[in-house]
Structure 1
Amino acid sequence: MTTALTEFQRLEAQGLWRATPDAPMREVIISVGDATLTLSDPKTERPMSHWSLPAVTRLNPGKLPAIYAPADDASDETLEVDDPLMIKAIERVHHAIETRRAHPRGLRGGLTVFAVLAVLAVLIFWLPDAIVRHAAHIAPPAQARMVGKDILADLEGTTGRICQRESGQAVLNWLTPRLIGADAEIRVVPGPISGARRLPGDLYVIGNDLLLTAAGPEAAAAHLVAAKLATNDDDLRLAALEYAGFWPVMRLMTLGTLPDGAMVGYGKQMLLTAPPRPEDRQFLTVLGELGIPSEPYARSLDPTGRTVIPLVEGDPFPNGPTKPLLTSDQWRALQQICAG
């Protein structure tokens, strides 16, 4: 308030004051203080009334003489002022008060708009991604396997339909718990897929080329182990559901299934990149524990061996496995899984 009246310090002017509506008008000297108007007797200089500046209200805006009254006072006092400078001083105070009152409202309005925009930003940019991540995290094994099978169905459009000869699949079912785990599944497709691929739900796929061009099952087995070590199901589920998108994921969470076509194109996209490889030392250790040599796997990646020297030189069974992974009959049945 003091700032609003800096140029009016010690301002005085004459005015006509009436104590009550029936009282006679009296001449007074009006003095402006920090927060008050003081009305004094011009002869004795004795204060006759004090008005709070913020509470002063003008009864006849735009007219002269200006008539004021103390709005917060129970009395019926009035004051007539015709001095332009005094009127300006009182109006300056009111302008400062209104500005001060308007500012918090504007600030509150600005904060409200900001809060609404922040909530909208969360809903638009953060919430869909958070829901997809949550869905990937909580998906039960059966649901994850279903997502993997949807990807496999899309993959068949590029590689050909899953090979289903019962004798060959029986060999895979017998071998799976030893290589991967009791809850895993391994499927073979006719076309090459550059090794083995792990899909959500612990579902594994290999191309028939790994069976037809190898001297034994060791290369294919090592590719499956590599796929298990180089990936984890959480990341695979998340990548698949991010591809599907927010609304298909909402359906998955509410109805338990992805809509038809949600994974169309994902299998083909997956084949554009080479499957990830595990760290050599860990891979060789696990192959040694499973009784699987690493050189057949290394030669399937690079027949010359130049780019996979650690896998060739670090082979835990350089002279071949101490115990065959499959019998001759099992191996022949597996090689014929795509026949017929």
Structure 2
Amino acid sequence: MTALKKYARLEATGLWRASPDSQRREVVVSVGDATLVISDTKDQAITHWSLAAVERFNPGVMPAIYHPDGDPGETLEIDAGETEMIEAIEQLRRAVLRTRPRPGRLRWLGAALSVSAVAALMLFWLPGAMRDNTLRVVPQVKREAIGVALMDRLQRVAGPLCEDEAGLRALRTLGARLNTPKLAVVPGLTRPALHLPGGVIVLNRSVFEDWEEPDVAAGFILAELALQVERDPLATLLDAAGPWENFRLLTTGEISDSALDAYAEQLVTAEKREPDMGNLLALFESTQVRSTPYARARDITGESVLPLIEADPQAGRATDPLLADSTWLRLQSICGG
């Protein structure tokens, strides 16, 4: 410590007492190696006080009275005239105090770090963990009920469900052919197709009316099936609704009307995701549907959907038509026009 070297030769007289019952003795006080040395008048050391353990009994009052930390019975009294020694002891005490650890600060720091860790856990880990747990426990019947509730809201902007009887029979035939029984058609959807929790795929009438062959409509259906496989539709809804609605569904089995309204609006306005090309081609192969007509419907040039054309699993094969012409015609008229 630099301060120790500065006061290495400093001495002063004082009155020392070993205990409250002892006689005070005149002593010589000097600064030693990290200690305060108390000697008698014959220069014989009586005791050493660690500078780190020197306490002042009467701060700001003269004469200055010091004692070892924890033992106020042993005292050293230094007269006001020994100002240089008193200033030296005070400065050395301050220097020692600055080097001491501060448990209070460490406790506050530890508490702050703990609170931060808990907050980060709740912010980043808990919502995902709660969502995953919700997805595991919500039954299929509840998923279907949520899908129905969203379908009701979609009809407000996309029009009522198309329910021509002959067209619905044709739609069921197409669903059976693709192993996808839950199909619905509306007249004014803002995109060709979308999917809802519970497995319902909603189609716009244009996928039937604007194309000459049913393979295009089948492609839009298979694309939604691929997206459902890649990501649970209920997970997408819960991410959009937020942790509170997730908690509500987990504990009460319900989602608020406002959350469903907001998500229905998001469904028709959000940018459409495209499924993984490999997954989609696998579905075309398993259902024995040509992928080229769907690819050309998405991009007449074929540039952005080249894998669907080059890797068409039905290319070069003699395949039966996806639907009979009469069934396809009825399906094209499902919305009554």
TM over 0.5, shorter chain = yes
Identity of aligned residues (%): 39
Any conservation in 1 of the 2:51–2:96 contact (CA below 8 Å)?
Answer: no
Paired AA for residue 145 in structure 2: M
Any conservation in 2 of the 1:217–1:325 contact (CA below 8 Å)?
Answer: yes
What is the CA–CA distance in structure 2 between the aligned matches of 1:192 and 1:321, rounded to whole Å?
35
1:84 is displaced (CA, Å) by 1.5
Match of 1:232 in 2: 229
Structure 1: runs of 5 or more not aligned: none
Q: For residues 90 and 204 of structure 1, do their structure 2 counterparts lie closer, same or farther at Cα, with a shift above 3 Å needed?
A: same
Any conservation in 2 of the 1:180–1:228 contact (CA below 8 Å)?
Answer: no
1:208 matched to 2:205? The reply is yes
Match of 2:149 in 1: 150
1:63 matched to 2:61? The reply is yes
Q: For residues 84 and 323 of structure 1, do their structure 2 counterparts lie closer, same or farther at Cα, with a shift above 3 Å needed?
A: same
1:48 matched to 2:46? The reply is yes
1:250 matched to 2:219? The reply is no
Any conservation in 1 of the 2:144–2:199 contact (CA below 8 Å)?
Answer: yes
Counterpart of 2:257 in 1: which secondary structure? coil
Counterpart of 1:262 in 2: which secondary structure? helix
> Cα deviations across residues 214-247 of structure 1 (Å, max 9, x unaligned)?
4443321222122223453635333222222232
1:56 is displaced (CA, Å) by 3.6
What is the CA–CA distance in structure 2 between the aligned matches of 1:72 and 1:279, rounded to whole Å?
75
> Cα deviations across residues 181-204 of structure 1 (Å, max 9, x unaligned)?
5xx511111235443322233221
Paired AA for residue 36 in structure 1: T
Q: For residues 73 and 164 of structure 1, do their structure 2 counterparts lie closer, same or farther at Cα, with a shift above 3 Å needed?
A: same
Q: For residues 286 and 47 of structure 1, do their structure 2 counterparts lie closer, same or farther at Cα, with a shift above 3 Å needed?
A: closer
> Cα deviations across residues 2-24 of structure 1 (Å, max 9, x unaligned)?
45533212332222334555655
Q: For residues 38 and 256 of structure 1, do their structure 2 counterparts lie closer, same or farther at Cα, with a shift above 3 Å needed?
A: same
Any conservation in 2 of the 1:147–1:200 contact (CA below 8 Å)?
Answer: yes
| 213-222 or 316-325, which deviates more | 316-325
* Paired positions, count: 335
What is the CA–CA distance in structure 2 between the aligned matches of 1:61 and 1:282, rounded to whole Å?
81
1:164 is displaced (CA, Å) by 3.0
Any conservation in 1 of the 2:226–2:283 contact (CA below 8 Å)?
Answer: no
**Match runs of 1:186-197 below 5 Å:** 186-197=183-194
Any conservation in 2 of the 1:137–1:234 contact (CA below 8 Å)?
Answer: no
Q: For residues 10 and 259 of structure 1, do their structure 2 counterparts lie closer, same or farther at Cα, with a shift above 3 Å needed?
A: same
What is the CA–CA distance in structure 1 between the aligned matches of 2:67 and 2:273, rounded to whole Å?
85
Q: For residues 12 and 282 of structure 1, do their structure 2 counterparts lie closer, same or farther at Cα, with a shift above 3 Å needed?
A: closer
1:305 is displaced (CA, Å) by 6.2
1:80 matched to 2:77? The reply is yes
> Cα deviations across residues 149-200 of structure 1 (Å, max 9, x unaligned)?
333323222221112344433443344244145xx51111123544332223
Match of 1:33 in 2: 32
Structure 2: runs of 5 or more not aligned: none
Work out which of the residue numbers 284, 289, 293 in structure 2 matches 1:287.
284
Paired AA for residue 89 in structure 1: A
What is the CA–CA distance in structure 2 between the aligned matches of 1:325 and 1:289, rounded to whole Å?
13
Q: For residues 146 and 332 of structure 1, do their structure 2 counterparts lie closer, same or farther at Cα, with a shift above 3 Å needed?
A: same
Match of 1:159 in 2: 158
